[in-house]
């Protein structure tokens, strides 16, 4: 089975079909998806500002992380669940959509950025907490994350404008 | 209706609608503003309620986050009217937009008239917790109404 055939099978599945045929399927899913986005992007944004050294400076990096991370992940789970359901709904149309592909690539990049950060800079978080000035590597991670999340938001919005219902 | 037509026929409205990319671009900046306001308001009030960062001084955190709330609000105040100008008729087709405007007005008034003074007066009193819960609830109601508008229209 090619990826396109898998996508078409997802779309043709009873789950995908039921969602597509329900009047409240898409509005309901996108609404909950956006709620998840606010929680995740809102906390990621503050975290990035902290890493850049421009926000929450009076609070140690590790404390900010401990406080925000549960919220970031909760929002992310909401987005992943609703996002996957929307993919099932429109898989065949999303598959060739450039904005959708870019969004998936950006998600992977955001994940790689996060894992790299935790495997390198965050290991010496004790020093991050004590240093008055945020080290360059942490700033770079914050800046990359900020750019990636803004791009993700843009790609997500672009899907709504470019998805092709013309068949 | 006259006011809506006047908006629709204004040069600025035509300018926003002229290129295909302007409305999506403004929408993205509007959403970024919402993210900024929501994130900073959420964290401030969770702290005031004592749910997170309880060992950190609330006043410093609140003052720092208020800057980001303000920046988000500035973004919203610029992009919101532009989006409205681009599609005044569409927005007033249902009552949803009016509901959102009223909720935003209430949340904004409470924030600037009552909440900020109480926060600046500081302390960890019961009134502060009540104000935090009220303000968070009001902002969330306004934001949810906005998301609903975006999702269902």
Check CB contact of A45 with chain B, cutoff 8 Å: yes
**Chain B, nearest residue to A34 by Cα:** B147
Residue of B40, B58, B56 lying closest to B129 (CA atoms): B58
Chain B residues contacting A via beta carbons under 8 Å: 24, 27-28, 31-32, 34-36, 38-40, 42-43, 46, 52-53, 55-57, 60-61, 64-65, 67-68, 143-144, 147-148, 150-152
Q: How close A68 comes to chain B (CA, Å)?
A: 8
B62 secondary structure, DSSP code: H
Cβ-Cβ contacts under 8 Å between A and B: the total is 83
Using CA atoms, how far residue B59 sits from B52, B111, B139, in Å, is 14, 16, 20
Task: Please give the Cα distance from A167 to A138 (Å, whole number).
Answer: 47
> Rounded to the nearest 10 degrees, what angle do helices B96-110 and B126-152 cross at?
160
B105 secondary structure, DSSP code: H
Q: Which of the residues B147, B149, B153 would you substitute to probe the A interface, choosing the one with the greatest number of A C-beta atoms within 10 Å?
A: B147
* Closest Cβ opposite residue A55 in set B64, B148, B151: B64
**Exposure class string for A97-117: b at 16+ Cβ within 10 A, else e:** bebbebbeebbebbeebbeeb
Check CB contact of A162 with chain B, cutoff 8 Å: no
- The pLDDT-based confidence of A38 (bands split at 50, 70, 90) is very high
Task: Please give the Cα distance from A89 to A104 (Å, whole number).
Answer: 17
- Share the mean pLDDT of chain A: 88
User: Given an 8 Å threshold on Cβ–Cβ distance, is A31 in contact with B152?
Assistant: yes
**Chain A, nearest residue to B140 by Cα:** A35
Using CA atoms, how far residue B56 sits from B60, B62, B90, B147, in Å, is 8, 11, 46, 32
| Mean pLDDT score, A31-59 | 92
| Mean pLDDT score, A8-17 | 87
Sign of CA dihedral A58, A63, A65, A70: negative
Q: Spell out the alpha helix ranges (H) of A95-135.
A: 98-119, 125-130
Whole-number pLDDT of residue A11: 87
pLDDT in tens, chain B (153 residues): 688 888 888 888 888 888 888 889 999 999 999 999 999 999 999 998 889 988 888 888 888 899 999 999 999 999 999 998 888 888 888 788 899 999 999 999 999 888 888 776 765 555 688 888 899 999 999 999 888 887 776
Domain positions in chain B are: 2-8+31-152
- The pLDDT-based confidence of A49 (bands split at 50, 70, 90) is very high
A132 secondary structure, DSSP code: S
User: Given an 8 Å threshold on Cβ–Cβ distance, is A31 in contact with B151?
Assistant: yes
Residue of A48, A64, A75, A46 lying closest to B53 (CA atoms): A64
* Closest Cβ opposite residue B32 in set A43, A64, A150: A150
User: Given an 8 Å threshold on Cβ–Cβ distance, is A35 in contact with B148?
Assistant: no
| Mean pLDDT score, A124-129 | 78
């Amino acid at each position: 089975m090619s990826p396109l055939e898998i996508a078409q099978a997802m779309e043709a599945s009873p789950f995908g079909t039921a969602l597509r045929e329900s009047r409240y399927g898409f509005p309901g899913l996108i609404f909950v998806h956006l709620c998840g986005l606010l929680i995740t992007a809102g906390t990621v944004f503050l975290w990035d500002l902290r890493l850049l050294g421009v926000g929450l400076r009076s609070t140690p990096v590790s404390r900010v992380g401990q406080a925000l991370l549960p919220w970031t992940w909760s929002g992310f789970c909401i987005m992943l669940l609703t996002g996957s359901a929307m993919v099932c709904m429109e898989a065949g149309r999303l598959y060739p959509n450039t904005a959708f592909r870019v969004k998936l690539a950006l998600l992977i990049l955001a994940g790689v950025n996060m894992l790299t950060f935790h495997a390198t800079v965050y290991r010496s978080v004790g020093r991050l907490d004590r240093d008055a000035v945020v080290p360059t590597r942490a700033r770079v991670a914050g800046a990359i994350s900020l750019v990636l999340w803004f791009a993700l938001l843009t790609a997500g919005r672009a899907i709504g404008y470019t998805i092709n219902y013309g068949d | 209706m006259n006011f809506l037509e006047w908006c629709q026929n204004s040069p600025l409205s035509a300018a926003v609608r002229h290129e295909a990319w302007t409305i999506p671009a403004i929408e993205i900046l509007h959403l970024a503003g919402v993210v900024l306001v929501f994130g900073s308001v959420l964290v401030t009030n969770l702290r005031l309620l004592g749910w997170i960062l309880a060992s950190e001084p609330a006043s410093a955190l609140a003052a720092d986050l208020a800057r980001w709330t303000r920046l988000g609000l500035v973004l919203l105040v610029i992009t919101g009217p532009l989006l409205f100008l681009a599609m005044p008729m569409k927005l007033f087709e249902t009552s949803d937009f009016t509901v959102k405007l009223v909720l935003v007005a209430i949340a904004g008034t409470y924030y600037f008239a009552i909440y900020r003074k109480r926060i600046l007066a500081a302390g960890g009193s019961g009134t502060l917790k009540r104000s935090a819960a009220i303000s968070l609830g009001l902002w969330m109601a306004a934001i949810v109404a906005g998301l609903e508008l975006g999702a269902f229209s």
